[in-house]
Amino acid sequence: MSEPQTQYYHHGRFAVAGGVLPDAITAYRTYGDPSNPCIVFPTCYGAKLDSLSYMIGTDKTLDSTKYFIVTFALFSNGESSSPSNTKIPYNGPYFPEVSYADNIRAQHAVLTKVLGISKIFSVIGFSMGGQQSYHWAVMHPEMRDRFVVLCGSARTSDHNQCFLEGPKSALLASQDYHDGHYTSTPQRGIRAFARAYSAWAYGQTWFRNKQFLHDGRFPNLNAFLRERWEAGYLTNWDANDMLTLLNTWQKGDVSLVRHGGDLEKCLGDIIAPALIMPCKTDLYFPPEDSEIEVSLMKNSQAELVVIPSVHGHMAGGGSNAADDEFIKNTVRGFFERTVDA
């Protein structure tokens, strides 16, 4: 399947959590026939639009011959409005804070004003994408029938926030970050960020069994860290983008949109069927947190299905064929059971 072209919607002056963007831009792609039921699939941390193709195709979780799939780039991912691509005076470290709610408002505008969509079959997302799924359910219940969360949560836990402080602090304290006023890629800072981030992305069992060696791609752990993690961020990411997007993740809490931080009341309002799929070895979003959230969705046909994987958080991000197949079968079954929701 060939990748569609990225499209850009200009919102004009757009208020966000930390101020305003004079000409906010949302980057998106579409797959399939617009007359088919619409599925919204937003990016996660570290993802560009082209990296979402792991889940789209006739033999994958989201069948583009059956659904009209719209993928959205989060603000600060380098494709939608970000510190790296915004003009003075909101460039670089002056880019305002952006919330999940800001992103959903922008995505809603594209769907309704550009694509003419008033009803969504499902929202599905991995990690930060899953947190956006929760926000769609709360902010626009009139548009959606169901939602899927892969390795995500309704609220970023204190434990998750503490983890994020590690890679963030490594980048901020680096000698070449210069408080965001760098004129060349802050290699030391981004490399430190990547190494601090890497261990949490996988389950302990994955590392214990040296899974990074099994495909023969990496001869040792250091090669894995340098080629898989350092190179990925150095090649594809801007440091200020990384930090601004991480801030969106850290402050993620759907109950701030409604009920002033009362998560029990907020999740209790959700009526759409939900499929919540944590991974049993995820160190970011552990299954225990998902169990609590599902128990609070008393008015929703909420299902909890744990991904039985050693790949930790990466199980939901297209890291291996076995987990992809499990997710595909589970999500497709959920769609079939709730088709008339």
Paired sense of beta strands 19-31 and 68-72, if any: antiparallel
What residue type is assigned to position 238 of the chain?
D
Task: Report angle CA 223, 168, 181 to the nearest 5 degrees.
Answer: 100
- Name the DSSP letter for residue 181: T
Q: Where are the alpha helices (DSSP H) in the chain?
A: 100-109, 128-139, 158-172, 187-198, 204-208, 211-214, 221-224, 231-236, 239-250, 263-268, 287-296, 321-337
Q: Report whether 281 contacts 116 (CB < 8 A).
A: no
Rounded CA separation 187/225 (Å): 14
304: DSSP letter: E
Closest of 101, 73, 74 to residue 254, by C-alpha: 101
User: Catalytic residue numbers?
Assistant: 127, 282, 313
User: What is the 8-class DSSP label of residue 239?
Assistant: H
**Alpha carbon of 181 to those of 20, 77, 79, 83, 184: distances in Å?**
21, 18, 20, 11, 9
- The tokens of 129 are what? 């994408």
Strand partners, 25: 10
